[in-house]
Amino acid sequence: MTRQKFVAGNWKMNGSLQANAALLQAICRALATDPPVCRVAVAVPAPYLAQARQLLEGSVVELGAQDVSRHEQGAYTGEVSAAMLGDFAVRHCLVGHSERRQYHGETDAVVAAKAQRLLAHGITPIVCVGETLAEREAAQTQAVVARQLGAVLDQVGADAERIIVAYEPVWAIGTGRTASPQEAQQVHAGVRAQLAAVSALAAQVPVLYGGSMNAGNAAELLAQPDIDGGLIGGAALKAPDFLKIISAARIQ
Ligand code: 13P
């Protein structure tokens, strides 16, 4: 079975009403005349969900969010619940991005709880996993990734087949230093095996690569057998670059 590729942009804390409109209009216009063969999504900052939802109406581009509260509702100032994301027709939400783990102290348990909360609201968690440079140098890559993914799989049980995984080596994020296609493939194969141990359907969930993926290196990464797409940071903020990555997913 060939898995459909999936290209998602993670805008992180970037954008403005004006910039978002220009970016999404350019992407939607291009994809309307030249429809993608892959799925395309953007994960926008929470305040712009309403705007993005409106701009994406009638487009193939799917709406995503970047984070969610692990709590259902209540006295959690500043948090955004899965139900609120659902109100804006959000289809996917990142959990466990390394910037959340690193700067906001999110543990594997917190990430797993967030994934479960999203699933309960019919939103697909894009579970981010990845090792730091120190962990890679200590030959801990597979162990770290397996631990991070394992925490989520243990929590969600049979719903594992409803998640998306993104392997993002921390040392490759925003650094211009990409994992080589072979390095990435090796980790992706490990992720695939871990998913396959849950069920045959879980083995088919998309496993995306993220970390300095750009218009120049996307095709080679996407050609790897276990790389099902990309989670794009910086290059997702420029319509021509993002569109080139989407095109690269076409020629596999
Ligand atoms: P860059 O593409 O900017 O390296 O960011 C990757 C990322 O963190 C996507 O979630």
Map out the domains of the chain with their CATH numbers.
Answer: 6-251 (3.20.20.70)
A 10 A CB-CB count for 102 gives 12
Q: What pLDDT sits at residue 2?
A: 75
Tens of pLDDT along 11-70? 999 999 999 999 999 999 999 999 999 999 999 999 999 999 999 999 999 999 999 999
Mutation to probe ligand 1, out of 168, 175, 208 (largest number of atoms < 8 A from CB): 168
- Per residue in 109-151, pLDDT (tens digit) is 999 999 999 999 999 999 999 999 999 999 999 999 999 999 9
42 DSSP β-pair partners: 9, 63
Atom 2 of ligand 1, nearest CA residue: 233
Instruction: Locate the ligand 1 atom nearest the alpha carbon of residue 236 and give its number.
Output: 2
Give the residue-averaged pLDDT of 195-212: 97
| CA 176 from centre of chain | 18
Atom of ligand 1 nearest to the CA of 234: 3
Distance (Å) of CA 48 to CA 11, 89, 118, 168 = 11, 13, 19, 25
The Å distance, Cα 233 to ligand 1 centre, comes to: 3
pLDDT for the residue numbered 250: 77
- Show the 3-state SS of the chain: CCCCCEEEEECCCCCCHHHHHHHHHHHHHHHHHCCCCCEEEEEECHHHHHHHHHHCCCCCCEEEECCCCCCCCCCCCCCCCHHHHHHCCCCEEEECCHHHHHHCCCCHHHHHHHHHHHHHCCCEEEEEECCCHHHHHCCCHHHHHHHHHHHHHHHHHHHHHHCEEEECCHHHCCCCCCCCHHHHHHHHHHHHHHHHCCCCCHHHCCEEEECCCCCCCHHHHHCCCCCCEEEECHHHHCHHHHHHHHHHCCCC
Res. 251 pLDDT band, cuts 50 70 90: low
- Ligand 1 lining (C-beta closer than 6 Å): 10, 97, 168, 173-174, 210-213, 231-235
Taking residue 76's Cβ as centre, other Cβ atoms within 10 Å add up to: 12
Is the separation of the CB atoms in 127 and 160 below 8 Å? no
Write the residue with the smallest CA distance to atom 5 of ligand 1. 233
* Residue in 12, 93, 133 to alter for ligand 1 test, most ligand atoms within 8 A of Cβ: 12
At residue 176, the pLDDT reads 87
Pairing status of strand 124-129 against strand 6-10: unpaired
pLDDT confidence of residue 58: 96
By C-alpha distance, which of 18, 77, 84 is closest to 46?
84
Report which protein residue has its CA nearest ligand 1's atom 9.
233
N-terminal to C-terminal alpha carbon distance within the chain: 14
Q: Are strands 124-129 and 92-95 parallel, antiparallel or unpaired?
A: parallel
